[in-house]
């Protein structure tokens, strides 16, 4: 692992690191914020998964999460959204290929050699971080925006016991039922739609739910709301009687102005779960 930068931030340290990934078979970069409490021992961690076209840097510099994480003594992990570099497959469309990993393990050409973001986020990066930094692996939570909200919800429901809480900002909630999802899932996983189900938050909610609290915010003026399909997830949550809060925020769009506005709410929500009994 190589340290690319470390800056003092709200009494803690905002670092950026790179490493050779076995899962993605390329070098990967991630951001990690450690609060001041990390100097005295392991701290709980909140994972933030970014959306389409983003890198580790977008939320790290735009979401304003460090201020609230520092207040509650929580570490933040900002992974990249896909493998990158020479020899990694890409596409002319912004919503497929580099920057658009969709947090799945691809099985189809030309994506399969590198696009194993599920294994990277679920296994490889957590192991790397807990081995090298003072992170309490027993106190983890996860959130994300858009494609990252999709990843946060599906990872949380597919990895029971891993995360104490999950939240999302404008998540892609029903990718098997919208163009943001069917296009990518067929490209990465093939045409067998049974293999898509574990990557659809609405279907996973109907099948398994989540053993903990959920918070979801979506803006009513989100320009992509028809692709996000929050109503599908809301229906599944109601049918399952899942512990969850879904909020439609009037006037907000899909941007980081929206994310940063409600970041404090989400960090407090996770802090209550991470420091609870």
Q: Which residues are catalytic?
A: 146, 222, 254
Q: How far apart are CA 259 and CA 158, in angstroms?
A: 25
Q: Nearest to residue 261, comparing CAs of 67, 63, 72?
A: 63
Q: Nearest to residue 115, comparing CAs of 106, 127, 126?
A: 106
- Site of tokens 């580099």: 98
- Site of tokens 């001041």: 36
Q: How far apart are CA 142 and CA 200, in angstroms?
A: 16
Q: Nearest to residue 145, comparing CAs of 209, 45, 71, 64?
A: 64
Burial bucket for residue 162 (CB in 10 Å: 0-12, 13-18, 19+): middle
Q: How far apart are CA 179 and CA 177, in angstroms?
A: 7
């Amino acid at each position: 692992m190589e340290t690319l930068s470390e800056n003092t931030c709200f009494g803690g340290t905002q670092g950026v690191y790179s490493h050779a990934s076995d899962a993605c078979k390329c070098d990967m970069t991630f951001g990690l914020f450690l609060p001041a409490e990390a100097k005295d021992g392991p701290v709980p961690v909140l994972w933030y998964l970014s959306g389409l076209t983003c890198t580790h840097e977008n939320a790290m510099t735009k979401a304003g999460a460090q201020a609230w994480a520092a207040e509650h003594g929580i570490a933040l992990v900002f992974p990249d959204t896909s493998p990158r570099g020479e020899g990694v497959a890409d596409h002319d469309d912004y919503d497929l290929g580099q920057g658009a990993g969709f947090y799945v393990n691809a099985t189809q050409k030309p994506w399969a050699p590198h696009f194993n973001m599920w294994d990277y986020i679920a296994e490889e990066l957590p192991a790397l971080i807990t081995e090298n930094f003072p992170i309490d692996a027993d106190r983890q939570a996860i959130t994300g925006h858009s494609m990252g909200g999709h990843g946060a919800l599906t990872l949380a429901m597919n990895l029971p016991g891993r995360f104490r809480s999950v939240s999302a900002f404008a998540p892609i909630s029903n990718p098997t039922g919208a163009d943001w999802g069917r296009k990518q899932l067929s490209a990465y996983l093939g045409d067998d739609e049974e293999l898509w189900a574990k990557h659809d938050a609405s279907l996973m909610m109907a099948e398994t739910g989540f053993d903990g609290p959920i918070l979801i915010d979506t803006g009513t003026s989100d320009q992509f709301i028809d692709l996000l399909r929050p109503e599908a997830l809301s229906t599944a949550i109601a049918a399952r009687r899942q512990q969850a809060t879904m909020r439609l925020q009037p006037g907000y769009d899909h941007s980081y102005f929206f994310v940063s506005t409600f970041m404090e709410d989400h960090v407090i929500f996770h802090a209550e779960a991470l420091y609870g009994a």
